[in-house]
Amino acid sequence: MDTAIEFLGEPRIPSPLRNVQTVADSERILYDLSAERVEQEIRNGNTPISLMKAGPREKIYFDPSKLKCAVVTAGGLCPGLNNVIRSIVLTLNYSYGVQNILGIRYGFQGFIPKYGHPVMELTPDTIADIAELGGTILGSSRGPQNIEEIVDALERMNVGILFTIGGDGTVRAASKICEEIRNRGAKISVIGIPKTIDNDINFMSRSFGFNTAVAIASEVIGAAHVESTGAPNGIGLVKLMGRRAGFIASSAALAKRDANFVLIPESDFDLEGPNGFLAVLEKRILDRKHAVIVVAEGAGQKYCAGDGTDESGNPKLGDIGIFLKDAITDYFKSKGIELNLKYIDPSYTIRSVEATAGDAIFCTFLAANAVHAGMAGKTNMVVGLWNDEYVYIPIDLVVTGRKQVDLNGKLWGSVLEATGQPSFKEL
């Protein structure tokens, strides 16, 4: 596993930062902290895998007085986007003295002339209050754009550092932008701050916006519980985000402890049969007279998968929430059992809210460390959190896969313990 970080060149300019603790490129954070794994690597003659520690460097590559930076947000909305933008601008301006910072409007469309999106000048004054807003002041868009045209625009604008804030599609686009820059022999740094509310980014403990999503989702689960207990045979059905991973559904269920069933993409389930979900739900209703079901949007796609791909190249999902709502209603009707089902989908509300204090702090650290990396001439990398330390990770490593809930791990084990649910599979 190659964890080396790419450089534009040797940093030779003394950093203008004062009274800060600098970090050397030789400082590393172990990928696996278990003594057994480290000892095994050493016995095998290997160096234990580690990631470069983030933070300010003694010397920087770019001259702040001559540098122009650009910031772009792409993909779906997520709590904390404005916090990241604000911290990038404040760190560049106040810490390094960079005066020229451009905001690219509506994702990568903003680089392409045919769309005609004007750039936004980002200064401490223009971003002063944006942390109190949800979404992103720059706007966003999905879908691929011509990489050569993006790099053409970067060169025309004389951009030295591009900060990309976005999910899987954005990170992959950043990788292609780096490749085109390298082919041209240009000296442009590309630094990514990965964003996915689903918390499924490889080699990262968590992503920004996730804690906010869990906080809001847990409140929704509580409301669903109130609804379910307020009527005979009440069911509260909550659909949460999670295309490929069930971290939000699992964590929110544990935060509130009102969910009786949690369905996630990683854990397959059957609807029919004596051990199927519908039969187990029927037993719960007959025994307890109410139930709360939490389902991640990517669960159960064998029953309702969509056709083709979306603008970001992801497989289109069928609406598992509506599918379950109809399936449960039809099942209980066929059994002649009274049912009061309330369906709640808070997805767009959750992703558009202001970040919680904890997420806001996290965004500040991510953005500041992204700036430190760019100023030091690093490129083709993202900043993230690993083993409670901020680290720099090669983009090419991040895009190798997605993190998912470990069905044999503590998180899912705790969910099963809290809900008491079986596997919903024929044995």
Catalytic residue among 198, 258, 270, 359: 198
What amino acid occupies position 327? A
Which residue, among 54, 139, 124, 141, has the nearest Cα to 86 in the 3D structure?
124
Is 393 annotated in some ligand binding site? no
Please, is 119 exposed, middle or buried when counting C-beta atoms within 10 Å of its C-beta (0-12, 13-18, 19+)?
Answer: middle
Is 45 annotated in some ligand binding site? no
Which residue, among 218, 273, 256, 193, has the nearest Cα to 419 in the 3D structure?
256
| Contact (CB, 8 A) for 383 and 55 | no
Please, is 202 exposed, middle or buried when counting C-beta atoms within 10 Å of its C-beta (0-12, 13-18, 19+)?
Answer: middle
Is 350 annotated in some ligand binding site? yes
What is the DSSP pairing of strand 59-60 with strand 68-73? unpaired
Give the N- to C-terminal CA distance of the chain in Å, as an integer: 38
Is 375 annotated in some ligand binding site? no
Is 241 annotated in some ligand binding site? yes
Is 76 annotated in some ligand binding site? yes
Dump the DSSP string for 145-211. --HHHHHHHHHHTT-SEEEEEESHHHHHHHHHHHHHHHHHT---EEEEEE--TT--BTT-S--TTHH
Is 219 annotated in some ligand binding site? no
Is 149 annotated in some ligand binding site? no
Is 169 annotated in some ligand binding site? yes
Is 10 annotated in some ligand binding site? no
- State how far the Cα of 188 lies from the Cα of 164, in Å rounded to an integer: 13
Is 313 annotated in some ligand binding site? no
Which residue, among 167, 164, 139, has the nearest Cα to 314 in the 3D structure?
167
Please, is 366 exposed, middle or buried when counting C-beta atoms within 10 Å of its C-beta (0-12, 13-18, 19+)?
Answer: buried
- State how far the Cα of 278 lies from the Cα of 255, in Å rounded to an integer: 25
Is 297 annotated in some ligand binding site? yes
- State how far the Cα of 295 lies from the Cα of 269, in Å rounded to an integer: 12
Is 348 annotated in some ligand binding site? yes
- The answer to whether residue 129 is catalytic is no
Is 196 annotated in some ligand binding site? yes
- State how far the Cα of 191 lies from the Cα of 175, in Å rounded to an integer: 10
Is 150 annotated in some ligand binding site? no
Is 170 annotated in some ligand binding site? yes
Is 143 annotated in some ligand binding site? yes
Is 120 annotated in some ligand binding site? no
Helix, strand, coil percentages for the chain (3-state, nearest 5): 40, 20, 45
Three-class SS state of 137 = coil
Task: Match 């050569």 to its residue by tokens.
Answer: 148
- Binding site for Mg(2+), by residue number, is 168
- Binding site for substrate, by residue number, is 196-198, 241-243, 297, 348-351
- Binding site, by residue number, is 76, 142-143, 167-170, 196-198, 241-243, 297, 348-351
Catalytic center residues? 198
- Binding site for ATP, by residue number, is 76, 142-143, 167-170
